Every structure is written in structure tokens, then in C-alpha cells.
Structure 1
Amino acid sequence: MKVHILDDWFDTLRGLPCFGKLEGHDVMVWTDHAKDVRVLAERVSDAEALVLFRERTRITRELLERLPNLRLISQRGVFPHVDVPACTENGVLLCSRMPAGGTNHAAAELTWALILAAMRQLPAQMASAKAGHWQMGVGKTLHGRRIGLYGYGRIARAVAGYARAFGMEIVWWGSEDGRARAAADGEIVAENRDTFFSSCDVISIHVRMKPATRGIITRSDLAGMRPDALFVNTSRGGLIEPGALLEALNAGRPGMVATDVFDTEPLDDPSDPLLAHPNLLATPHIGFVTEDEFDLQFADIFDQINAYASGDPIHKINPEVWKAPAG
């Protein structure tokens, strides 16, 4: 198959063990990002299969209608960036494995790194030291403080393990089902939502992005946090009510935000008011960006291509598109 891989910005995949799964295919790897639909469509005009790097490129109806040769889109995880009905109407099968087990340790580790960096003022302290000014302020010790984890999935539970190692008190909130599971496991669940947001030194959200969770963290939630508290998001920018994060920082509740995700990505405007805010610690959506995590994820993605090529596709999202070859 003619396979185009989009947005491998650092040309990482060719050096990973999983890349060997594409042997026998005609593979083109794009190491930059084409924003213009017309430019992208021209680049991949001969593609029979597209491989997506998470949500780096949106698959729109306009793009699909310009790709008459396309038959397969292979990716992993959720797909809010893919117009599935348009895929179906254009005869394009979307295959995406939804991981049912295991933990994304890369995302959990980044979450903890952001918490440490924000609470100990590491970016500012490092910049001050390199500028010859030595110390620039006073940080906070994590031991004995309270962390609130919103969501009771695998990543949140991994973060809870780090918090316990640092001697923090852990409280939970999330969906009714998540709270019930946490309580059944003997965890401490906040008395109510308001108490959860108002009582924690650190709050970290770990929820999957889907229509029901869009904007699940509201202006009111953030306004209820203390001026000395930290809010952390390594999940998805769309989980926060639009505009609420910047308003909260400007109001000083919470006093600090550490985020790996934004509503618009890539966010490359240094004058963006949220990105430029002095009380925001930002990373450019690198929660999943490790060689180890890439090898795990793209092994699944490449397996989907091989399954399609062999006539027995797996992890079909719109199975009505698939018609098995005759004979």
C-alpha cells in the first residue's frame, strides 16, 4: 500500500523497532505540518493509507473529498479530530485501537514533572541562575500537601502513586462511576465538587476527551480554587470551558497553572495571552512524546495497516465502509 505518515516532526518513527512492520509498503514520512488543506491534499494525493500522529492534523470533509485514492486512516486512541461521517461517505475506513489495558506512563510522568516544576518554580529559578541573579523566589514542599485528582483512570492512579511516594494526601473527584470505584478501593473522595476544588493545593485532571466531557471544568470550578493552588492539565485543552483558564489566571484563582495541552495546537504565537501569562507553565503537548510510547502506539497503528492489506481489517470505527474482497 501507498502509506503516508503525517507530522513525524523529529523523524522518530524510522528509528523505532515498530517501523519494520511496514516492510513491503511504499512509505512516505512527512516531518513537518501542512496547515493548508490544499497543500496537504496535493502532498498525499496518491495515499491509500494515512497514518496520524494523534491530533496533529484534522481530517476534515474538505480534505477527504480531495483524496480519491484514500481507503484507510490508521491511528490510535480517541478521534475527535476525524470527521467520521465524512470518512464513511467517501469510502474511507477509520481504524483506531482503543487501549483497554496498561498505563500511559509517559503522560503520568510528565504530569508529575509539571507539578514539581511549578511548585518549586524550576523554570524561573533556572532562568535566574543562568542570568547570574541566583535565587528568584521561594517554592513549596509537596510533602504533607493535598493533591486532588479528577478522574479515576489508569493515568490518574499512576500519578497517585507518585503523590504517595512524596507524602501527599490524595482526594478524588470525577464522574459518579469514578467516585464509586475510588470509594470501593478505599480512596478518599471529596464530600462534594466545591470542596474538592477549594481544599486542594494541587488539582490534576485526567479525563478522556469526548462530547460529554467537553468543558467539564468550568469557570466556577477554577474560581473556587485558592490563590496559592496549582491546576494541572495533561489530558486535553477542550476539557476546560473555553476562555476559563485565562480568566482564572487573570483573577488569581488558581494562582498557577501548568498545562501540556491547548485548545489550538500547535500554538506557535508567543503573544497568545494564555501562553504568555506569567503564571502559566507550559509544555507543547509532549505527554505522549517519548520513544518508548511511540513504539507502543505505532506498533498498533502499523498492525492495522497490515491487517487491512491482508483483507481482514481490525479495530474498525466505521465498519460499514469495509467490503471484503470477492473470492
Structure 2
Amino acid sequence: MKIAILDDYADIVRHLDCFSALDGHEVTILNDYVSDVDLLAKRVRDAEALVLLRERTPVGEALLERLPNLKLITQNGHVPHIDLDACTNHGVVVCSALTSRPSYAAAELTWGLILSAMRHIPFEAEALKQGRWQSTIGRGLRGRTLGILGYGRIGKVIAQYAKAFEMSVLVWERENGSGQARKDGHDIPASREEFFAQSDVLSLHVRLNEETRGSVTAHDLACMKPTALLVNTSRAELISPGVLATALKAGRPGMAAVDVFENEPVFDGKDPLLALPNALCTPHIGYVEVDNHEIAYGNAFKNIIAFDAGKPINVHNPEAVKGMSFEVAAH
């Protein structure tokens, strides 16, 4: 098959062990981000299969109508960025494995940001290179309170890390999640305001959907301590647009550590958070880790092998294979 792998920014894919699964196929790898649909279509116009990584590139009617040879879109994880109806209308099969395994890579990056921000590690490292010694004073984690907004797979891992650091844990979640948090020995505050007000570190671990989009408001952030740290390695859109930068300028919370942005990728340095001294920012690397990529791309490549053998797996739109001599295994 003619395969196009999109958005491999750091030229990682060809060096993964799982890449050998594509031996014998004609593979094109794009190492840059192409937002213009016409340009992207020209660069992958002969592709029979597209390999995506998470939501880096959305796929809808505008792109699909320009790719007449496309038969398969494959990736790992949820597919909110793919128009399944449009894919079905164009006879394009979408295959993506869903897993119950938490993203340990994202959880570890979250904890790394917490430690780095609370102890001002990036700032102190740069200051030392410039000849300054002990420029600031940080805050430790032991005895402080970690607030976890969203007690799902990653939130539970973060809670375990907090306990290892002898922190108290507050959880704010829908009722079913709150019940599990209580069983796990964590505290549930009486109100959302108390949750934001009592947290020394508050980390977001909520899946983005129409209900949660913009659910963290200016009022929520204004409730936080001027010494508190807000951490977001989930999705920038969970916070109302522009609210975080404004809150940081006002001093509540006092700091933020973010791995996600409202408009990604950020190549021009124009995101307002990048200009703030109390914001620690990383370029959405929570899931960019070798073991995580081996799993994600490995699953995507397994979908290609199965499809090429006439037995597609992890299919999200089985209607697209009607008329094909395939044995379809749904996700």
C-alpha cells in the first residue's frame, strides 16, 4: 500500500522498532505540520492509507474529496478529529484501537511539570548558566494539597504519585468518579469553590467534549491561592478562551504549567502564555515518549496489516466496508 504518515515533527517514526511492520509498503513521512488542505492534499494525493497521531491533523470532507485513492485512516485512541460520516461516504475505513491503559507518559510529564514549576527548576538552571546563584526560592510538595479535576485513568495515577510525596489529595469529579475517589481514600470538598481554593497544586485530567469545553472559568481560577500552581496536560480548551493568561497576570493562580495550547502547534511563539514569567510551557510532549509511541504507532500499523490482508480490525465505521470482501472486526 501507499502509506502517508502525517505530523511526525521530530522524525521519530522511522526509528521506532514497530516501523519494520511496514516493510514492503511505500511509505511517505511528513515531518512538518500542514494546515492548508490544498497543500496537504497535494503532498499525500496518492496515499491509500493515512497514519495519524492523535488529533494533530483533523480529517473532514475538504481533505477527503481531494484524496480519491484513500482507503484507510489509522491511528491509536479516540477519533474526535475525524469526520466518520464523511469517511463512510467516501468509502474510507477508519481504524483505531481504544485502550483502557492509562498514559503513564502523560502522567509522568505532569509530575515533572509540577516539580519543575514548584521548585523553579528551568528558571534556576538558566540563571546558573548566566552566572546567577540561587535566584529564587521554591516550594516543596510534602504536606501540601493536590487537587485533581477528573478522576479517570491518568487522574488516578497522579493521585498515587501525590501519596508517594506525602501530599493530601482533593478530587472534583462527577458523582460516580467521586465515589471511587472516596473508596481510594481521597477527600471530596463540599463545593467546587473550595476545591479550587484549597488546592496548592491543581491538575486537570478531564476528557474534552462539549460538556467540558470551557468548563474551567475565570471564577474558578480567581478562587485559587496566589501561591497555587495550575497544571494542564489534558486539553487547553477545558479552560475558557484567554482566561488562564488573564488570571496569571492577576496573580490567581500564582503559576501555571501547561503542555497544551488553544491553537496547536505553536511555531511562532505568539501564544500569550509564552510571554508570562509565571507560566512554564512545554510543546504538548505528554504523550511524546518512545514507549508510548511504540504502542500508538504499533497499533496503527497493525491496523494497516490487517486491512491489507482483507480483515480490518478496530473499525469505527463498518458501513464503509460494505461491498468489500472484508471480515470486519469492530473496535
TM-score normalised by structure 1 residue count = 0.95
After the TM superposition, which residues 307-318 of structure 1 pair with which residues of structure 2 at under 5 Å, given as runs? 307-318=306-317
- 2:144 alignment counterpart: 145
- 1:127 alignment counterpart: 126
- 1:297 alignment counterpart: 296
1:10 is aligned with what amino acid?
Answer: A
Q: Is 1:42 aligned with 2:31?
A: no
Q: Deviations over 1:7-40 (max 9, x none)?
A: 1122212222211222232211122222221111
Report the CA distance between 1:326 and its aligned residue.
Answer: 4.1
- 1:178 alignment counterpart: 177
Distance 1:312-1:133 versus aligned 2 partners, 3 A rule: same
Which runs of 5 or more residues in structure 1 are unaligned? none
After the TM superposition, which residues 51-90 of structure 1 pair with which residues of structure 2 at under 5 Å, given as runs? 51-90=51-90
- 1:288 alignment counterpart: 287
Q: Secondary structure at the match of 1:170?
A: strand
Report the CA distance between 1:283 and its aligned residue.
Answer: 0.2
CA distance in 2, matches of 1:117, 1:225: 20
CA distance in 1, matches of 2:133, 2:167: 29
Q: Which moved more, 1:135-144 or 1:179-188?
A: 179-188
Question: Identity percentage over the alignment?
Answer: 51
- Partners of 2:273 and 2:281 within 8 A in 1: no
Q: Secondary structure at the match of 2:305?
A: helix
1:275 is aligned with what amino acid?
Answer: L
- 1:27 alignment counterpart: 27
- Partners of 1:52 and 1:74 within 8 A in 2: yes
Report the CA distance between 1:310 and its aligned residue.
Answer: 1.6
- 2:329 alignment counterpart: none
Report the CA distance between 1:78 and its aligned residue.
Answer: 2.0
- Partners of 2:310 and 2:325 within 8 A in 1: no
- 2:9 alignment counterpart: 9
Q: Deviations over 1:39-64 (max 9, x none)?
A: 11011001111000222222132111
TM-score normalised by structure 2 residue count = 0.94
- 1:204 alignment counterpart: 203
CA distance in 2, matches of 1:126, 1:91: 53
- Partners of 1:230 and 1:258 within 8 A in 2: yes
After the TM superposition, which residues 155-166 of structure 1 pair with which residues of structure 2 at under 5 Å, given as runs? 155-166=154-165
CA distance in 1, matches of 2:169, 2:235: 22
Report the CA distance between 1:154 and its aligned residue.
Answer: 1.9
Report the CA distance between 1:70 and its aligned residue.
Answer: 0.8
Q: Secondary structure at the match of 1:213?
A: coil
Q: Secondary structure at the match of 1:212?
A: coil
Q: Which moved more, 1:105-114 or 1:299-308?
A: 299-308
2:91 is aligned with what amino acid?
Answer: G
Q: Secondary structure at the match of 1:161?
A: helix
- 1:267 alignment counterpart: 266
CA distance in 1, matches of 2:178, 2:114: 23
Report the CA distance between 1:89 and its aligned residue.
Answer: 2.3
CA distance in 1, matches of 2:157, 2:275: 30
1:210 is aligned with what amino acid?
Answer: N
Distance 1:90-1:325 versus aligned 2 partners, 3 A rule: closer
Q: Which moved more, 1:270-279 or 1:137-146?
A: 270-279
Give the count of matched residue pairs: 326
- 1:169 alignment counterpart: 168
- Partners of 1:311 and 1:324 within 8 A in 2: no
CA distance in 1, matches of 2:251, 2:307: 52
CA distance in 2, matches of 1:297, 1:137: 40
Q: Secondary structure at the match of 1:211?
A: coil
Q: Is 1:233 aligned with 2:232?
A: yes
- Partners of 2:148 and 2:172 within 8 A in 1: yes
1:63 is aligned with what amino acid?
Answer: L
- 2:93 alignment counterpart: 93
- Partners of 2:149 and 2:206 within 8 A in 1: yes
- 1:224 alignment counterpart: 223
- Partners of 1:255 and 1:279 within 8 A in 2: yes
Q: Secondary structure at the match of 1:274?
A: helix
Report the CA distance between 1:324 and its aligned residue.
Answer: 5.2
Distance 1:62-1:325 versus aligned 2 partners, 3 A rule: closer
Q: Secondary structure at the match of 1:275?
A: helix
Q: Secondary structure at the match of 1:152?
A: coil
1:284 is aligned with what amino acid?
Answer: P
- 1:249 alignment counterpart: 248
CA distance in 1, matches of 2:221, 2:91: 44
- Partners of 1:7 and 1:57 within 8 A in 2: yes
